[in-house]
Amino acid sequence: MKKFLCLMVMALFMASFSYAQDENVSTPTGMEPEITFEKLEHDYGNINKGDNGFCTFRFTNTGKSDLVLTNVRSSCGCTVPEWPKEAIAPGQSSEIKVKYNTQRIGIISKTITVQSNAINNNITLRIKGNVADIPQEIAPENPSSPMNNPGN
């Protein structure tokens, strides 16, 4: 009997959590802002160490009310996003600027998460590419070097 009573209490406890979550879900009204990006990914291609690491993600508020970006964060400290803090009116466009630290050699595969008050409130942007080390210059041969005159 104790097991049955414990199971019933646990079932009621779990059911109350699932009901509480349903209360927080809002029904779309058609008046929400909506964010639409021109592109979701930027490919730097093959670049050299120290090259320009800037790129831009343009977006438009295609919804019916003001769009506010609440947070834009990157997956790593080597990628720094800059975004507008003011509201974007319906039909207006703006941009998120991203700076990647090209002093880091290797493959680029980073994400930028955009959070907003839009109906599509979590968008993931991506940057990719490859940063190569700058080739070292080859020193010219010295004709007077003992390496060039093995018979001496």
pLDDT tens for each residue of 59-91:
999 999 999 999 999 999 999 999 999 999 999
pLDDT level of residue 138 (50, 70, 90 thresholds): low
Task: Give the separation between CA 53 and CA 117, rounded to whole angstroms.
Answer: 29
- Among the residue ranges 8-12, 44-48, 127-131, the one predicted with the least confidence is 8-12
Tally the residues of the chain. Answer: 152
**35-132 belongs to CATH 2.30.22.10:** no
Q: Which residue has the higher pLDDT, 16 or 40?
A: 40
| CA diameter of the chain | 103
Secondary structure E strands in 33-145: 35-37, 41-48, 54-61, 69-74, 79-82, 93-100, 106-116, 122-132
- For the cut 70, the answer to whether the pLDDT of residue 54 exceeds it is yes
- For the cut 50, the answer to whether the pLDDT of residue 148 exceeds it is yes
User: Residue ranges of the domains in the chain?
Assistant: 35-132
Q: How many CB atoms lie within 10 A of CB 44?
A: 18
Angle at 145 between CA 141 and CA 150, to 5 degrees: 110
